[in-house]
Amino acid sequence: MTSHAALTAIGAYVPQRVLSNADLEQLVDTNDEWIVKMTGMKERRIAAEDEFTSHMCVAAVRDLQQRFAKPIDDVDLVIACTHTPDYPFPGVSNLVQHRLGLTNAGAFDLNATCAGFAYGLHVANGLISAGLHRKVLVIGADAMSKITDYTDRSTCILFGDGAGAALVERREEGGFRGAYVASDGEKGKHLYRLGLSDTIDGEPMAGGGKLVQNGREVYKWAVSAVPEGMSRLLEGAGMKPDDIDWFIPHSANMRIIESACEKSGFPLSRTLTSMAEYGNTSAATIPLSLARGVTNGSVKPGDMLLLYGFGGGLSQAALLVSWQP
């Protein structure tokens, strides 16, 4: 499918409160050296008690406006990619649409967990290229601290809160060059949060309303699935690793990213991450990384990006898209 959509602006937001590795040492049996070695994380941001996903989304869009002086009153669709909505409904997208005064915009939430932002961009490209929409806000945000069990040393060291917002606009020469999406629902039980049911495929599960992760199984899946997906994406687009300026994966864990780069042959030096300062912010990690790259001048207009989201579901989504501000 020919793309008529362009990624034209990016914004980001993280809360003020910092949760450092030293802080975590006071909560659970862990230490800074071990956390950095195993995850690459040094600190993460934590939302205030009365700060939720919708608030972070609005702040990220405001940042986008300040960075690029882009009008958004003509946005005709808001896609909020999150699995930590303020409420079951109304959706985060509905709250954002209202607070930003986007009276001509439709709105829906998309839950693909850590792959959400990439899926959101994929949907936006499809809708715009089909002629159904012209200007779409895609926001990836999660308030992970609200669902993290801070007595579980294996998960509480990982997660932080944040949001990133992107503008996708119609252009005759679009910038989306390829996509690869996949699901391995059979392994969904290795990373979950219970809702109305306390079983998965009839199997009783623990955790209540908190996130539960089998880190070993998720790691094994990711280090195999991501390089394979990268290969399929590039092959399908008729491109090679040398054609990619920046690899921007979900910042789940530095060990996963290092393994993916090694197996795919992609240089770690051309990889952008956000976990060292912000931890794993789920759907927000990719836009936070991209926003940083744009701000510091690493990402330049026309650069080809390989975005790769992967996580709960187990879902994955990878995109080839040029940066066209």
Same domain, 105 and 170: yes
Residue range 246-262, pLDDT digits in tens: 999 999 999 999 999 99
Greatest Cα pair distance, the chain, in angstroms, is: 55
**What does 73-99 look like in DSSP terms, one character per residue?**
TT--EEEEE-SS-SSSSS-HHHHHHHH
C-alpha span between 289 and 293 (Å, rounded): 6
Residue range 126-161, pLDDT digits in tens: 999 999 999 999 999 999 999 999 999 999 999 999
Q: Taking Cα atoms as reference points, which of 106, 84, 83, 103 lies closest to residue 93?
A: 106
Same domain, 232 and 256: yes
pLDDT the model gives residue 196: 76
Tokens 């187990």, located at residue: 314
Same domain, 35 and 131: yes
Q: Percent of the chain, pLDDT > 70?
A: 100
Judge contact between 226 and 308, C-beta under 8 A.
yes
Q: Taking Cα atoms as reference points, which of 315, 318, 308 lies closest to residue 182?
A: 315
Same domain, 220 and 100: no
pLDDT the model gives residue 183: 96
Same domain, 254 and 268: yes
Helix (H, G, I), strand (E, B) or coil at 153: coil
Tokens linked to 266: 């992609």
Contacts of 32 (CB under 8 A, 6+ apart): 21, 22, 25, 42
Catalytic residue set? 114, 250, 280
Range of the domain at 34: 5-174
Task: Report helix angle 215-237 to 254-264, nearest 10.
Answer: 40
- What phi, psi does 17 have (nearest 5°)? -70, 130
Q: How far is CA 180 from CA 35, 191, 227, 266, 277, in A?
A: 32, 21, 12, 17, 29
- Burial label for 136, CB within 10 Å (0-12, 13-18, 19+), is buried
Same domain, 111 and 185: no
Same domain, 154 and 192: no
Contacts of 262 (CB under 8 A, 6+ apart): none
CATH number of residue 100's parent domain: 3.40.47.10
Tokens linked to 151: 């007595």
Which of 146, 174, 202 is the endpoint of a domain?
A: 174
Same domain, 311 and 254: yes
Structural domains in the chain (count): 2
Weakly modelled stretches of the chain, pLDDT under 50: none
Which of 143, 174, 205 is the endpoint of a domain?
A: 174
Judge contact between 162 and 13, C-beta under 8 A.
yes
Residue 245 DSSP symbol: S
Q: Please, which residues bridge with residue 59 across strands?
A: none
pLDDT the model gives residue 200: 79
Same domain, 154 and 14: yes
Tokens 């940083």, located at residue: 292
- What phi, psi does 242 have (nearest 5°)? -65, -20
Which of 174, 196, 230 is the endpoint of a domain?
A: 174
pTM of the model: 0.96
Q: Give me the amino acid identity at 131.
A: G
Helix (H, G, I), strand (E, B) or coil at 50: coil
- What phi, psi does 75 have (nearest 5°)? -60, 130
Same domain, 113 and 192: no
Same domain, 151 and 56: yes
Same domain, 311 and 250: yes
